[in-house]
Chains A and B, each alone.
Chain A
Amino acid sequence: MWENALSFFDFDDANVIYVSLGTIILGAGAAVVGAFTFFRKKALIGDAIAHAILPGVCLAFILSGTKNYFLLITGAFFTGWLSIIAVDYIVKKSKIKEDTAIGLILSVFFGVGIMLLTYIQQSGNAAQTGLDSFLFGKAASMLVQDVIVFSVISIIVMIMIFLFYKELKLITYDKDFAQSVGLPVKWIEFLLSSLTVLAVVTGIQAVGVVLMAALLITPTAAAKYWSGSLSIILILAAAIGGFSGVSGAFISYIAPNMPTGPWVVMVLSAFAIISIMFAPRKGYISRLWQQLKNRRQIQDENILKAFHQIAESENSFDESKSIEKLREKRYYTIRLMKRILVRLKRNGYLKRSKEGYYLSDYGQRKAARLVKLHRLWELYLTEYLRIAPDHVHEDADTIEHLITPELEKKLEEKLGYPEVDPHNSKIPYD
């Protein structure tokens, strides 16, 4: 097995190079077309086409008796398109919803396909080798000739997407508008469906019929976490699809009995999971981190406020405050309180003495500003929104952490620099 792995990276076997390049191209092509099915919310259609291709391929094989590409692809194209038309027809003419119609068509076509495949296998036709890999894909069994044919198709698909990018984007985003400006919408949709069929025909070399939908959809599902621009998403999806494709080729070299499809899907899923977890801004971790930062900010600011409030009531602005005293104002656990105090000291808001902590000049200003914001907001709520004074404290407690300097200025001006808040506490200005 490991010799196989090494010889894969040697690339001295011409076949390895061809298959590697080929699977990259197949994966990229499928991913790029898949992006449009994804954003058109037609993910399931790709699945239907993939399954519907099987009977076409088998039928072409039975009729011709050979593995002639032109015929196989024609057969695949024929049944692939037939499935699209059948789904459309059912949706239009009956009360059946699209997803149900897809499920129906998918299983009927696939059933017929499996039946034909079984027939071919039992007939013991020598040329059948390779046909059964249609189910789960076996990249390594591709011949140089296969690779060239399918890569060329895949490249043509990508060129078409590039040429019609503008139009495809418009019908994906706003079909009615596209039609209203006179774009040949029906024609472009026909083109996209045909490209989808072609991408599926080529893609099943790498992943097989059963898992083809994953190769169409997952690269985009992962890529959209990293960018908000369609063109960049397309490039990322192509890269993810290509990498997953070649990783499938790799596995089918080191473990010749292993079908490629499941492996490709595992790699794709890894990309998706990594994206969902770690993508900047949209990723889970990043959002969790943002929440944590917000929570810490609120804790820090609450304690700073507590310092000010205690000092205000005891008129002891320059004296140290003990943890116990602070906990009378804000009932945090001792451990949490210590952590907050250490954090505030590190950031220069607090200084340490024997008796506890006291505010630095910087901290004093910050604390006073927070108290001011809290009281200004309370005043705003009671004066402008006519909320009862005993209701406003909770609201102000959250809002005070959000108010920007610009808003602060507006508040001050609007309220005319008031002296006291609704509870008659003094509002500190600097």
Chain B
Amino acid sequence: MNRQVENPIIEIHDLSVAYERKPVLWDVDLSLPEGQLIGIIGPNGAGKSTLLKAIMGLLPLNSGYIQINGKPLEEMRHKISYVPQRESVDWDFPTSVYEVVMMGRYGQLGLFKRPKKADKDIVMDSLRKVGMEEFKDRQISQLSGGQQQRVFLARALAQQADIYFMDEPFAGVDAATEKAIIKLLGEMSAQNKTVIVVHHDLQSVAKYFDWIILLNMRLVASGPINEAFTPELLQETYGGKLTLLTEISDLIQKHRFPNRE
């Protein structure tokens, strides 16, 4: 099932992505409603991170296009925030919590500009919202996994965007942190912000999200939670039916076939 919405905040049309010729996402069509908490679900290697990166313009597309609020990404960048997977950066990098969160302001600041008082206030405010105020001068190398995740979240909040893409914000955090984060995300969507989250724990999906996207190299389903979160669709997402697609992908890579004419 793939429910289309009117006036979508995000529209993806026929999106295909490959790494070194190996296709990992096939013909994804999607439209997503504004102001909802949206979960992306799928097994390891399903292409969830890839989908986010493709939407953020971090990867070359094999085909397709993406529109944010009816406009191309470049015009909307300042309205969008991206939270990468926590392991994607080096936490030994010599910098403090405060400085990382300040990075959320760089997009608005522009080249050569130094942060102003307003930026500093926004950073402190974001730190407060995730409960990391006391840690602002802490080296990032001395944070626990959950604290690292909060710092990334604070950086996203500091961007003051309308749309948030988060890659596994609950990975490696304890139950209390997870609760605090989901509460925050709920508040954001109540302010009509759209929050799209890659999530792994099927137990909590129904409780957390308004809308889900089921993904496994292709789009299995996208729709309101009560329609898309069904045992049949989950079986289709997680079941081993897709080995054929994987095999074809490998063949394409091996034989250096063009994926598209």
Chain A positions within 8 Å of B, measured between CB atoms, are: 39, 41, 163-164, 166-167, 169-170, 172-174, 176-183, 224, 227-230, 233
Partner of A228, one of B56, B94, B159: B94
Chain B positions within 8 Å of A, measured between CB atoms, are: 53, 56-58, 74, 77-78, 80-82, 84, 88-90, 93-96, 100, 103, 106-107, 109, 111-112, 114, 139, 141, 155, 159
Q: Which residue of B lies closest to A41 (CB)?
A: B90
15 A-B residue pairs with CB within 8 Å: A39-B90, A164-B111, A172-B93, A173-B103, A176-B53, A176-B82, A178-B106, A179-B57, A180-B77, A180-B82, A181-B106, A224-B94, A227-B94, A230-B94, A230-B95
Are A181 and B53 CB-contacts (below 8 A) given A173-B89, A174-B88? no
Q: Which residue of B lies closest to A40 (CB)?
A: B90
Residues of B near A164 (CB, < 8 A) are: 111
Q: Which residue of A lies closest to B88 (CB)?
A: A176
Give CA–CA (A163, B110) in the complex, Å: 12
Partner of B58, one of A163, A166, A173, A179: A179
Cβ-defined contact, A182 with B96, below 8 A: no
Residues of B near A176 (CB, < 8 A) are: 53, 56, 58, 82, 84, 88
Query: Which one of B58, B84, B95, B155 has the highest number of Cβ atoms from chain A below 10 Å of its Cβ?
Result: B95
Cβ-defined contact, A167 with B106, below 8 A: yes
Residues of A near B74 (CB, < 8 A) are: 182
Residues of A near B56 (CB, < 8 A) are: 176, 179-180
Residues of B near A170 (CB, < 8 A) are: 103, 106
Give CA–CA (A180, B139) in the complex, Å: 24
Give CA–CA (A170, B56) in the complex, Å: 17
Residues of B near A167 (CB, < 8 A) are: 106, 111
Query: Which one of A164, A167, A179, A180 has the highest number of Cβ atoms from chain B below 10 Å of its Cβ?
Result: A180
Are A181 and B159 CB-contacts (below 8 A) given A173-B89, A173-B100, A174-B84? yes
Give CA–CA (A229, B97) in the complex, Å: 11
Query: Which one of A163, A172, A183, A228 has the highest number of Cβ atoms from chain B below 10 Å of its Cβ?
Result: A228
Q: Which residue of B lies closest to A39 (CB)?
A: B93
Cβ-defined contact, B94 with A177, below 8 A: no
Task: Name 9 extra pairs, CB < 8 A, besides A39-B93, A39-B94, A228-B141.
Answer: A167-B106, A170-B103, A176-B84, A179-B56, A180-B58, A181-B159, A228-B94, A228-B96, A230-B94
Cβ-defined contact, B95 with A183, below 8 A: no
Cβ-defined contact, A177 with B96, below 8 A: no
Q: Which residue of B lies closest to A35 (CB)?
A: B94
Are A229 and B94 CB-contacts (below 8 A) given A174-B103, A182-B107? yes
Cβ-defined contact, A173 with B90, below 8 A: yes
Q: Which residue of B lies closest to A174 (CB)?
A: B89
Residues of B near A230 (CB, < 8 A) are: 93-95
A110 to chain B, nearest CB (A): 30
